[in-house]
Amino acid sequence: MGPTAGGAVYSPALTDWVFMVKKSSYMYITGPDVIKAVIGEEVTHEELGGAVAHATKSGVCHFATENDEDCINKVKILLSYLPDSCHSPLPRVNCSDSPDRECPELDSMIPDKATRGYDMKKVVMTIADNNEIFEPHELWAKNMLVAFIRIMGQPVGIIANNPKFGAGVLDVNASDKASRFIRFCDAFNIPLLTFADVPGYMPGTNQEWSGIISHGAKLLHAYSEATVPKITVVTRKDYGGAYIGMCSKYLGADYVMAWPSAEIAVMGAEGACNIVYRREISSAQDPAARRGELVALYEAQFNNPYFAASMGIIEEIIAPRDTRKRVAVLLDALKDKSEVRLPKKHNNIPL
């Protein structure tokens, strides 16, 4: 709620959650005066280490609150989702919602054009008890959504690509954001529900030089290490290595469902055909027309959930409106899941 500087800032950095108050909380290793004296850069306390700066740029702050009262109230909300320890039962609240509630608005949630975005947060809120959601890191790496919700009074951890921001692509910050949240939920035995709509990992020199390989590997490590119930719903695009990274069967998902709009493939039809049928397209009398024919054929054959289901990649194709019902049933079926791992000192996450 106040300033923290120098070595003392590592104390909040080591905690599970960091709450900051706008215009009164500050965190930085080196203050503005020293920065100006050493490297000549001028910056204010707020710009350097204020709540908004850490909530939007560094990701160190999970919750940027308006004032002290708002901060304490949000701490109370967070604690309401958590058990006393990993050995304690999950807290349950009285639920007035129904496990059989249909969500017809989800049937029209996916846009007709594959290039159009939509807000995944609306999907998550629709299936949650009383449409309530509690979202850490709301202002950082918005292409990835992490949140706590309840299903029939029981807390559930949500990890979801958000196509409203950057098409929901996986990048360095999104991978870090999701990985840390997954490991926290697993530490407290909170089940994980993943919504996948991801075109792939962000390409380009900036991401490669920033370490997308090692940062992206954190996501795979976190999912595969987690022993809590893991349920995945594929809503639309689920391409390439990003498909594996968003809690696929290969990372230990207990149950994977897909909406009829799902496309599970190495890449989109256009890109795939340009590679697979390059010679055939270039030698055609009308390359553009031939490419269009091959793209349509590829989409009909591969870019649908039915082909994925025939390969055993997903367990079930569901109507979007039935998502809450199916998740509620699966959470109940998996509530006693127990997984024993080989004893070892500790694992080595790619940090």
Taken in order 143, 144, 150, 151, the sign of the CA dihedral is positive
3-state SS string for 271-317: HHHHHHCHHHHHHCCCHHHHHHHHHHHHHHHCCCHHHHHHCCCCCEE
Q: Mapping DSSP to helix (H, G, I), strand (E, B) and coil, where does residue 256 land?
A: strand
Here the tokens at position 121 are: 């947060």
Find the catalytic residue in 31, 153, 241, 252: 241
**Is 157 a residue of the active site?**
no
Helix axes 212-225, 172-187, angle to 10 degrees: 20
**Is 242 a residue of the active site?**
yes
Find the catalytic residue in 6, 8, 187, 211: 6
Cβ proximity of 28 and 5 under 8 Å: yes
Q: Hunting for tokens 């002290």 — which residue is that? A: 68
Find the catalytic residue in 2, 7, 40, 312: 7
**Is 241 a residue of the active site?**
yes
Here the tokens at position 347 are: 């694992």
**What is the C-alpha separation between 260 and 28, in angstroms, rounded?**
48
Find the catalytic residue in 64, 160, 174, 242: 242
**Is 284 a residue of the active site?**
no
Taken in order 275, 276, 281, 282, the sign of the CA dihedral is positive
- Show which residues are catalytic: 6-7, 241-242
